[in-house]
Structure 1
Amino acid sequence: MKLVIAEKPSVAKSIAAVLGANSRKDGYLEGNGFLVSWCVGHLVELADASAYGENYAKWALADLPILPEHWAYTILPDSRKQFDTLKKLMERPDVASLVCATDAGREGELIFRLVYEQANCKKPVERLWISSMEDSAIRDGFAHLKPSVDYDRLYEAALCRVQADWLVGINATRLFSILYHRTLNIGRVMTPTLALIVQREAAIDAFKPTPFYTVTVAFSDFTVASERITDKPQAEALQAACLTAAHATVKSVERKEKAEKPPALYDLTTLQREANRLLGFTAQQTLDYLQSLYEKKLATYPRTDSRYLTSDMAGSLPLLVNTTAKAMPFAEKLTIRCNPAQVIDDSKVSDHHAIIPTQSIRETDLSALPAGELALLQLICAQLLCAVGQPYAYAETSVVVECAGQEFKAKGRVILNPGWRELGGRYKDTLKNKPEPEKEAWALPILSEGDNLSVVTAAVKEGKTSPPAHFTEDTLLSAMETAGAGEMPEDAERKGLGTPATRAGILEKLIKVGFVERKKVKKATHLMPTHEGVALITVLPDQIQSPSMTAEWEHRLKEIERGGAEPDAFLSEIAAMLTELTGRYEAVKDAAALFPSDKESLGKCPRCGASVVEISKGFVCENRDCGFAIWKENKFFTAKKKKPTKALVTELLSTGRARLTGCYSEKTGKTYDATVVLDDTGGKYVGFKLEFDVASPKRR
């Protein structure tokens, strides 16, 4: 038997159907010589810091940095049953080998390998590497399974990435949370991304608009304009001079025929950007819809960073283009031409080719798709049809006119061939929220050098320089993609913050932890830093918030994946940085003003030093990652028919002990007085013990 392990149940079912493993069992399918099972996302993860010592359950500066010599792993409780199923299947004597069929990327490789290693499996493994879930692609993939060893470097890069994230997240989060007495989530990629947003808002706040003026001169059938003038009286003087002159002379006329190439196909980031701009989808929504389309066999692999196809796809591309055109209403009655050469470039495809629809759209009732999935599929189809289409061709005429001793300019355009833009325009006409229309092309009259023109009127137009725009998900994804690119070698394979697969999750986490919020302004949704997000970036040192440094790390991870760098050296550099940071960093003076709390502090948390505040169910540490809490329905107190009060908790936090009167004894049914002592060991629940007076406790 051959054991096939997919990433999700839905993918496993599709693979099983192709392989003929049709007998459903508990946690797997069987048949035709195959067992097909699945992970449920990440079954195995890096263990928390407490796995390296009980003392790490409490947050203390003296324990930092936490740098594991040997990494510990944990099996997620909710996933234990499926892990046990996979382990038993691996151990079956009739299972001779395995096929890793998780998603064909860095994270998919990590998911499988961690399960394989934690199950202590030694059986041989082959790799299924496909870009489509179509039956034909699955069959072809199984006919050309690859040796697992070919992906060892991919796994090393994936493991290195998750370990680096752990080191930065655990150490930096604890350091800054302890020093500033509140939860401050720090992430290797998340924090530099927040820095981009905060820096953009700072630039907007500091921006001071500068007025400028242009003089326009109108003739009978066209208008020309001057360069920008910063002095208004100077502009008004030029306007008056033009009116006085009453005539102008054509100094030059230049006509050029130009062509605008069709756009490239989508990779994940460009698709997320376009879907945000045209459809209003968040990056995470786009990824979720695309993942579903992939599993429904309607689109190719989502997490790709390539915008091109491979040469072996050239023969089948015209049929796919024809199928796509017939399925899309905006392409109806249009002559669709297909030039495969425009979208094929083997040198620009690494692990996966660009995102395109599949032939399965031909026999699928697309109207039955959820609205979001259908809208995204139509966007992908429109891009394919545009990408293989004809160039947009036009003739551009530039004219320079002299009036009152100054030069004025105008440009005109005549469309020679609408090309791919015709279909793109028809697609955009179907959208509910149509984008702002582009300026229509307009033609200049026939002019010749030396022509004398009569001035009809002249005017002064005032404008102001514009501040930088607030980030939308579209523009922030672009900034993440290019962050630090200027400091990278030109041949760097990956630049920027994060990867196409992780950027959506980073944005969602920034919002979840309260550092960023979405604000809808007219048609756009801006990403704005919260007060806490700005405060965090204000106090963080450069090495934690630097987009350039994190972009360099991402580049190094890609080099590890390609065999050009070693994981140990990379992790050692991060460990050295954290050792220096935790050893030398001092809290910014008067930083308390940056992190105000709207709740009264009852004292400092004995675990991390943050404030303990009262909520409806108890008294909790404001540092949400700390876990310290004294619940009002605490079993220790309810057994004595008592509830911890605000005064009692305040005293416990101050001195570690407090007097408790009228305690009920379950054995005698009587009451007594005692001293309750805070006996916290850093576990899931806070511990207490009682101390009695030297004399016998008073019973009532």
Structure 2
Amino acid sequence: MSKKLIITEKPSVAADVARALGGFVRHDDYYEGDEYVLSSAIGHLLELACPEEYEVKRGKWSFAHLPVIPPHFALQPIAKTESRLKLLVRLIKRKDVAGLINACDAGREGELIFNYINQHAGNAKPVERLWLQSMTPQAIREGFSRLRSGTEMQGLGDAAVCRSESDWLVGINGTRAMTAFNSKTGGFHLTTVGRVQTPTLALMVDREDRIRKFVARAYWELDGVFACAAGDYRGRWFDENFKGKDDDEHARADRLWDESRALALQNKCADQDGDVSEESKASTQLSPLLFDLTSLQREANGRFGFSAKATLGLAQALYEKHKILTYPRTDSRALPEDYRQTVLSTLSMLTGEGVGKGHDEQTLARYAPFAGRILASNWVVPNKRIFNNAKVSDHFAIIPTLQAPKHLSEPEMKLYDMVVKRFLAVFHPAAEYLITTRITRVAGEPFKTEGKVLVNPGWLAVYGREGQEGEEGNLVAVQAGERVHASEMLLSAHQTRPPARYSEASLLTAMEGAGKAMDDEELRAAMAGRGLGTPATRAQIIENLLAEQYLQREGRELQPTAKAFSLMTLLNGLGIPELTAPELTGEWEWKLARMERGELARTAFMKEIAAMTQRIVDRAKSYDSDTIPGDFGELSTPCPKCGALIKETYKKFQCQACDFSLWKIVAGRQFEASEIEELLTRRRIGPLSGFRNKMGRPFNAIIQLNADNSPEFDFGQGSAGADGPAEEVDFSQSETLGPCPKCGASVFEHGMAYVCERSQGSAKTCDFRSGKVILQQTVEAEQMQKLLSSGRTDLLRNFVSARTRRKFSAYLVRGADGKVGFEFEKREPRTPAKKSRATPTSEPSDAATPTSGTTTRSRKKASSS
């Protein structure tokens, strides 16, 4: 009897399908029943690779080998999942398998994963498509009852492959061309670019440039305190003739830009009587729309500080593992028009009725009153704002499923709660307000007072904000015809502020809305639904920019580095707007959408991409580093050799009168102008992090100018080298920081580390050494003194994990063996904590030279780790 092979994108989805359809027996990594064989990929199993005859090793990238435009693309297995690929190929080739069902995630990426497997296996058997938008058993069974034909998905498949190959061509050639350009004068300076990554970075650099160039302007506001029979109220002067901001983004009707005019108005109105006019009108506020992934990431970042990547991971777990949220990688904020019955069933689950044992009763109890009210009031009705097929793309909005929550972690609970409350709120009526605008006219000058009273909370009740804007917004009553008196005129001085730096939340918004200002209507329409990247990829794009040191996190802010400014200078100087403007993505999306509809051939699209790739390489070949134009500055510190002016160029800080210069990039790290100023002034700077050796491993170092005014690394190792025995170190003029925890001798500051005096020189008897920089956290001498005297430092908040690249906080503590380890903040455990012990760190590469392997790490379970 012939069977069909079902291939899902992830093992968890295969398990869901097996449970929903029933009748399967599990065999290791696949299931088998009477009608179907069922297995899964593990995400992407294959990736594009350059055919071997066109490949060039990374260290030998040069213009001689560019552009790389192979006549065909090879597929290579991803090493860590190759065994799963071999299993799928074996199942595809089974004689009793008569056809395949593509059950990968609905969308372009899922289509690509399956098509690559299909291509690699050389399959000629017929293919059908399962299109799922929810993982409930009912949705899975319904999906199998209406499978799509493989030919129906040809356009989507072509678009998926073209997008993948185009990203590869632009990314590989752009990265190699820019790397070759930056490596012309020696070394290997990796400079990554990408179709989505680089325009995103351009947004960041443009915002930071505006911040740096911002010049604050003074303005004044005039507030009056008015006395009436019922009490006092305040009003602010405003310009009744104000017609909008025009070209001044800081213009406001209530801002005065001339101090003398502001003072004149203050004197004119002080201690005068005034007349009052009032107008009241009802106003309503609708609930926010349901979440898509980007709006979910944005709100989670703003409320809880979750990174976009963390939010995606949590949402994915709530979808795959817990089955309590619908598919999260969506750009839609509406539901299908036939989904009303499912919504009613979901609301019924949220009331707690008919839910089996083991669920989180306390959580459902919070939602039950609102879910019950919606059902009792019959508020789930046809509504294009909620149920709209035209606004549903591959997937619909993120909402709770029919499964009740149980055993959620605290972060998972926070995210689930956000989604459920938004789901409940969208079916509630609008919030109703009474807004009163009062104009008080004193000596002919108008002062505005506004009051906003919440009359009916509507959807706000879901968030517990029924009375939040009640009494505070109420105005003191003024009787008809009553005159008021200006008892005080308060003039306050202010200054305009630069635009705020991007947080992950605001950057996601900018990426989502990129291209809305395009002049071309068709491109603007193509970008309208997508922006830069997709909801599923934006988090990783931000993480990649951080990993490549184009961005750095400062609290919740993201700040572009000097390396980012350098890349934008290069691309703008070379005249390659395709890599910095969102128009490229807009044009691609427009064409790929046409391809999905069968209106554009795959070959025609790829021919255009090849031509663009050639142009990028040609532009990079046509310039030298000293001819790149840019907005470069001057240093305030003179040249150490001749005292002349030093100017910045694309690659150097160059003296204008002699041959003295300093490279901007050293050992893979780009210097900021302020760091060069400090180096020239003090002749020494550091320790600095972010350097990388020839093997790509990070290290920290001090930079100093030698007698010839050349920069050199100072590691302060004091260890034997190729030229002879270890250097003897004289600590007689240094101040001790405390007793060595290993031998009791004195500890001193030396180079990149704090060392025992007995650990240096030829008579070395102790090996105590602790870095000045540990996991990118600078350990000040004051903290080392505390560690040596009391056994622990203060809480240090800027450690960065080598594995996750996320910041964490910890104390440095002295162990019984004299080694230095981590101790994390103590928090109330949910279950009794097991006794922990210190073990050697698993992340020595971040500490590199400074710790020399002596840092230890506590294995305590703590959320801050």
TM-score of Structure 1 vs Structure 2, range by shorter chain: 0.7 to 0.9
Post-superposition shift, 1:482? Answer: 0.9
Q: Which residue of 2 aligns with 1:222?
A: 233
Q: Which residue of 2 aligns with 1:620?
A: 694
Q: Which residue of 2 aligns with 1:482?
A: 513
Is 1:577 equivalent to 2:588 in the alignment? no
Post-superposition shift, 1:229? Answer: 0.8
- 1:383 aligned to 417, 422, 426, which one? 422
Q: Are the equivalent residues in 2 in contact too, given 1:40–1:79 (CA < 8 A)? A: yes
Q: Which residue of 1 aligns with 2:664?
A: 596
Offset from partner CA, 1:574-633 (integer Å, 9 cap, x none): 3222212212332442422286344499xxxxxxxxxxxxxxxx9737799xxxxxxxxx
CA distance 1:319–1:537, shift in 2 (3 Å): same
Is 1:238 equivalent to 2:265 in the alignment? yes
- 1:149 aligned to 145, 148, 151, which one? 151
CA distance 1:457–1:570, shift in 2 (3 Å): same
Tell me the distance in 1 between the aligned counterparts of 2:544 and 2:57: 28
The answer to which structure, 1 or 2, has the higher relative contact order (CA under 8 A, 6+ apart) is: 1
CA distance 1:32–1:118, shift in 2 (3 Å): same
Q: Are the equivalent residues in 2 in contact too, given 1:56–1:63 (CA < 8 A)? A: no
Question: Which SS does the other structure have where 2:275 is aligned?
Answer: strand
Number of aligned residue pairs: 594
Describe how 1:515-530 pairs up with structure 2 within 5 A: 515-520=550-555, 525-530=556-561
Question: Which SS does the other structure have where 1:311 is aligned?
Answer: coil
Q: Which residue of 2 aligns with 1:553?
A: 588
**Structure (1/2) with the larger helix percentage:** 1
Q: Are the equivalent residues in 2 in contact too, given 1:392–1:419 (CA < 8 A)? A: yes
How large is the RMSD of aligned CA atoms in angstroms?
2.8
- 2:373 aligned to 336, 339, 355, which one? 336
Q: Which residue of 1 aligns with 2:115?
A: 113
Q: Which residue of 1 aligns with 2:453?
A: 414
Describe how 1:247-396 pairs up with structure 2 within 5 A: 247-250=273-276, 252-295=277-320, 296-324=322-350, 326=352, 327-331=363-367, 333-334=369-370, 336-337=373-374, 338-340=379-381, 341=383, 342-361=385-404, 364-365=405-406, 368-396=407-435
Is 1:208 equivalent to 2:215 in the alignment? yes
Q: Which residue of 1 aligns with 2:182?
A: 180
Residue identity matched to 2:35: G
Tell me the distance in 2 between the aligned counterparts of 1:254 and 1:451: 15
CA distance 1:510–1:476, shift in 2 (3 Å): same
Q: Which residue of 2 aligns with 1:605?
A: none
Post-superposition shift, 1:106? Answer: 1.1
Residue identity matched to 1:192: P
Residue identity matched to 1:405: G
Residue identity matched to 1:580: R
Is 1:33 equivalent to 2:30 in the alignment? no
Q: Are the equivalent residues in 2 in contact too, given 1:485–1:495 (CA < 8 A)? A: no
Q: Which residue of 1 aligns with 2:75?
A: 73
Tell me the distance in 1 between the aligned counterparts of 2:458 and 2:475: 22
Q: Which residue of 2 aligns with 1:567?
A: 602
Q: Are the equivalent residues in 2 in contact too, given 1:393–1:415 (CA < 8 A)? A: yes
CA distance 1:90–1:600, shift in 2 (3 Å): closer
Q: Which residue of 1 aligns with 2:840?
A: none
CA distance 1:218–1:322, shift in 2 (3 Å): farther
Q: Are the equivalent residues in 1 in contact too, given 2:453–2:471 (CA < 8 A)? A: no
Tell me the distance in 1 between the aligned counterparts of 2:605 and 2:469: 48
Unmatched 5+ stretches in structure 1: 430-436, 602-617, 625-643, 647-700
Is 1:7 equivalent to 2:14 in the alignment? no
Post-superposition shift, 1:19? Answer: 2.5
Is 1:199 equivalent to 2:234 in the alignment? no
CA distance 1:196–1:619, shift in 2 (3 Å): closer
Question: Which SS does the other structure have where 2:490 is aligned?
Answer: strand
Percent identical pairs in the alignment equals 37
Q: Are the equivalent residues in 2 in contact too, given 1:19–1:34 (CA < 8 A)? A: no
Question: Which SS does the other structure have where 1:103 is aligned?
Answer: coil
Question: Which SS does the other structure have where 1:121 is aligned?
Answer: coil
Q: Which residue of 2 aligns with 1:637?
A: none
Question: What's the TM-score, normalizing by structure 2?
Answer: 0.65
Tell me the distance in 1 between the aligned counterparts of 2:191 and 2:398: 37
Question: What's the TM-score, normalizing by structure 1?
Answer: 0.80
Post-superposition shift, 1:48? Answer: 3.4
Q: Are the equivalent residues in 2 in contact too, given 1:7–1:103 (CA < 8 A)? A: yes
CA distance 1:619–1:190, shift in 2 (3 Å): closer
CA distance 1:318–1:440, shift in 2 (3 Å): farther
Question: Which SS does the other structure have where 2:651 is aligned?
Answer: helix
Residue identity matched to 2:263: E
CA distance 1:551–1:7, shift in 2 (3 Å): same
Q: Which residue of 2 aligns with 1:678?
A: none
Q: Are the equivalent residues in 1 in contact too, given 2:652–2:664 (CA < 8 A)? A: yes
Q: Which residue of 2 aligns with 1:606?
A: none
Residue identity matched to 2:66: L
Q: Are the equivalent residues in 1 in contact too, given 2:130–2:147 (CA < 8 A)? A: yes
Q: Are the equivalent residues in 2 in contact too, given 1:392–1:420 (CA < 8 A)? A: yes
Question: Which SS does the other structure have where 2:106 is aligned?
Answer: coil
CA distance 1:78–1:90, shift in 2 (3 Å): same
